[in-house]
């Protein structure tokens, strides 16, 4: 049998005081069962990443670290967003583990799928994606918009796993490669498939949130989707170019039509068609400027090269090295 592998569970937290105790009980039981069955080593840990929570999340993580030997914690200096919190945990974990599994604190992702993830990792997979087997528990609106998002991303040429969020296992060598991706505008669902290496899927049913409220309201979901599209595809700009060319051709046709009607002696009826044209073209121009501006804004942020996160406190019963804190860029 191969050597037992060290697995870190990376769990980003933002105002999760209502779920942490129950989440910890379930995750500790799952990790302990994997240790007892000989699938993973006793040095495996649950790593909570506090993303600048405003409630008692960090004090609770500190208490849980004292109560459970399997619980560790990172405290970011301020709120940096879900994707940066996940990345901070992964970059810390890569120095201590053979593979890391990222998942949300509400445990809507089925923790029983972790067993199959570990099995596939031990069989040679470097990336194991947790994929929802269905969306029958979602509302019609959420199902329609979520599946539409994945289809749009595919249409735009982004290599993304359908119905996969941030529940995934990544080996140490994948994490080391991920460290080389320096972009500030993070979209991990699109970044991980770019790395390559052997990958497989694990399918599961997503559960209802057992406490607290979702940290991804509609506004955040739309912003996240737009970030994903503009970070991995230039098709919106190409679409604007195509639209501009089409409108130019239409305008030429209208010009020819107007000249012909003029020589035929027909009277051009006035303002309604003119105003519609002005408003349509004005709206299209503003939309085009906005999309191009979004890309320029992203380039501006990338060129600054600012750190994506800063670690304020660490709770872990292992010896630290300076390398841990060199992963903020």
On whether both 260 and 195 belong to a single domain, the answer is: no
Q: Which pLDDT does position 211 carry in this prediction?
A: 59
Judgement on whether residues 156 and 211 belong to the same structural domain of the protein: yes
Do residues 57 and 133 share a domain? Answer: yes
Q: What is the 3-state secondary structure of 215-270? A: CCCHHHHHHHHHHHHHHHCCHHHHHHHHHHHHHHHHHHHHHHHHHHHHHCCCCCCC
Instruction: State the Cα–Cα distance between residues 6 and 316, nearest whole angstrom.
Output: 14
Regarding whether 181 and 240 lie in a shared domain, the answer is no
What is the model's pLDDT at position 188? Answer: 85
Q: Which residues contact 230 (CB under 8 A, 6 or more apart)?
A: 185, 236, 291, 294, 295, 298
Token readout for 113 is: 């799928």
Residue 167, H or E segment:
strand 164-171
Q: How far apart are CA 134 and CA 110, in angstroms?
A: 13
Low-confidence residues of the chain: pLDDT under 50: 1, 271, 322-329
Looking at the fold, whether 192 and 293 belong to one and the same domain comes out as no
Structural domain boundaries enclosing 180: 7-217+306-326
Q: Which residue has the tokens 């004005």?
A: 282
Q: What is the domain-level CATH number for residue 180?
A: 3.90.550.10
pLDDT for res 322: 46
Single pTM value for the model: 0.73
Q: Are residues 107 and 189 in the same domain?
A: yes
Residues 247 and 202 in one domain: no
**How confident is the model at residue 245, as a pLDDT?**
72
What is residue 63's predicted lDDT score, i.e. its pLDDT?
93
Residue 223 lies in a domain: no
CA atoms of 278 and 252, how far apart (whole Å): 16
In a domain, 80, yes or no: yes
Residues 88, 200, single domain; the answer is yes
Does some domain include residue 229? no
Q: CA neighbours within 13 Å on the CB side: how many for 118?
A: 24
Residue 74's DSSP bridge partners are 49, 314
Residue with tokens 């990222």: 102
119 and 90, same domain (yes or no):
yes
């Amino acid at each position: 049998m191969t050597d037992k592998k060290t697995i870190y569970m990376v769990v980003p937290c933002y105002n999760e005081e209502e779920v942490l105790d129950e989440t910890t009980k379930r995750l500790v039981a799952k990790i302990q069962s994997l240790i007892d069955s000989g699938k993973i080593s006793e040095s495996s840990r649950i790593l909570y990443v506090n993303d600048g929570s405003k409630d008692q999340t960090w004090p609770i993580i500190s208490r849980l670290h004292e109560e459970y030997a399997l619980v560790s914690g990172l405290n970011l200096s301020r709120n940096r967003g879900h994707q940066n919190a996940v990345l901070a945990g992964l970059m810390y974990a890569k120095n201590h583990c053979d593979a890391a599994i990222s998942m949300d604190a509400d445990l809507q992702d089925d923790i029983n799928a972790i067993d199959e993830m570990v099995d596939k990792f031990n069989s040679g997979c470097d990336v194991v994606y947790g994929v929802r087997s269905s969306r029958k528990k979602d509302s019609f609106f959420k199902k329609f918009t979520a599946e539409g998002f994945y289809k749009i991303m595919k249409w735009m040429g982004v290599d993304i796993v359908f119905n996969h969020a941030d529940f995934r296992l990544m080996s140490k060598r994948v994490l080391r490669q991920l460290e080389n991706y320096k972009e500030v505008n993070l979209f991990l669902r699109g970044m991980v498939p770019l790395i390559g290496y052997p990958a497989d899927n694990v399918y599961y049913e997503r559960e209802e949130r057992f406490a607290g409220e979702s940290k991804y309201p509609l506004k955040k979901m739309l912003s996240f989707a737009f970030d994903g599209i503009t970070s991995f595809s230039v098709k919106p700009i190409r679409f604007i170019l195509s639209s501009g060319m089409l409108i130019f051709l239409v305008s030429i046709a209208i010009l020819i039509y107007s000249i012909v009607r003029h020589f035929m002696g027909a009277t051009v009826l006035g303002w309604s068609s003119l105003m519609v044209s002005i408003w349509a073209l004005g709206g299209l121009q503003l939309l085009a400027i906005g999309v191009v501006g979004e890309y320029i804004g992203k380039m501006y942020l990338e060129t600054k090269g600012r750190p994506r996160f800063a670690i304020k406190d660490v709770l872990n019963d292992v010896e630290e090295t300076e390398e841990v804190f060199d992963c903020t860029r």
